[in-house]
Chain A
Amino acid sequence: QVQLQESGPGLVKPSETLSLTCTVSGASINTYYWNWIRQPPGKGLEWIGVTHYSGTTNYNPSLKSRVTISLDMSKSQLSLKLISVSAADTAVYYCAANGDYWGQGTLVTVSS
């Protein structure tokens, strides 16, 4: 059974860096495309980016200058870093394997 679990700070200060980890179990990292998606409270879904073990990585142009997604195959983990955050980055952040499997999501609030 494929399971994904996001983890990281729930509160980040404006202008600082948001860092999240997604731990994968029940699947090999080289099986899927690994996505990060976010959802501001009460709003719709926004695709952040995708990575693959082959090295291919693509980002949403609206976030590209601030975001980095990477894989740690030895730990079966996917990571997200978003720099220079503002209140507009407050959202539930999800990791997903293709679109098939999703983590439960983690709420990150940007506030001083």
Chain B
Amino acid sequence: EIVLTQSPGTLSLSPGERGTLFCRASQSVSNNYLSWYQQKPGQAPRLLIYAASTRATGIPDRFSGSGSGTDFTLTISRLEPEDFAVYYCQQYGSLPCTFGQGTKLDIK
């Protein structure tokens, strides 16, 4: 199975700053089928990005995804207070689908 490693484990930033989160796969993700999710305490994950770079419906354009093969990035251009949460990447190009361990984005 494909192992996804997210970095950093925790990212401490201030509102208005730029956030960059990384996801590295142990082998190439087929068709770049990689998604990013945001999860807040007590809530289900919310889809932000699919197919590495396509924003899901209703997601603000400050969220962007990039990358291909084994290295992927989620960028939040200017952090809003509601963006502080845990972020997960998931690959669905090969079975079993797998998730990264998460990056916690907290307020500095």
Contacts and interface: CB of A to CB of B under 8 A. Distances in A.
Given A44-B99, A47-B97, A61-B96, A100 B56 contact: yes
B35 A99 contact: yes
B96 A45 contact: no
A60 B100 CA distance: 15
Interface string B43-87: 111110010000011000000000000000000000000000000
Contact of B99 (A46, A59, A102, A104): A46
Contacts of B97: 35, 47, 50
Contacts of B95: 58
Contacts of B98: 47
A45 B56 contact: no
Nearest to B47: A99
Q: What bracket does the count of chain B residues touching chain A fall in?
A: 20 to 34
A50 B46 CA distance: 18
Given A99-B50, A99-B90, A102-B45, A47 B99 contact: yes
Contacts of A45: 37, 45, 88, 90, 99, 102
Q: Is the interface of A mostly helix, strand, loop or mixed?
A: loop
A60 B96 CA distance: 5
A64 B38 CA distance: 28
A61 B35 CA distance: 21
A99 B54 CA distance: 13
B20 interface: no
Which 5 pairs across A and B sit closest by C-beta, in order of nearness?
A: A102-B44, A47-B97, A45-B99, A60-B96, A99-B47
14 contacts: A44-B88, A44-B100, A45-B37, A45-B45, A46-B99, A47-B97, A47-B99, A50-B97, A94-B44, A99-B35, A99-B92, A100-B47, A104-B44, A105-B44
Given A58-B96, A61-B96, 10 more contacts: A44-B99, A45-B99, A46-B99, A47-B90, A61-B1, A94-B45, A99-B35, A100-B56, A100-B57, A102-B46
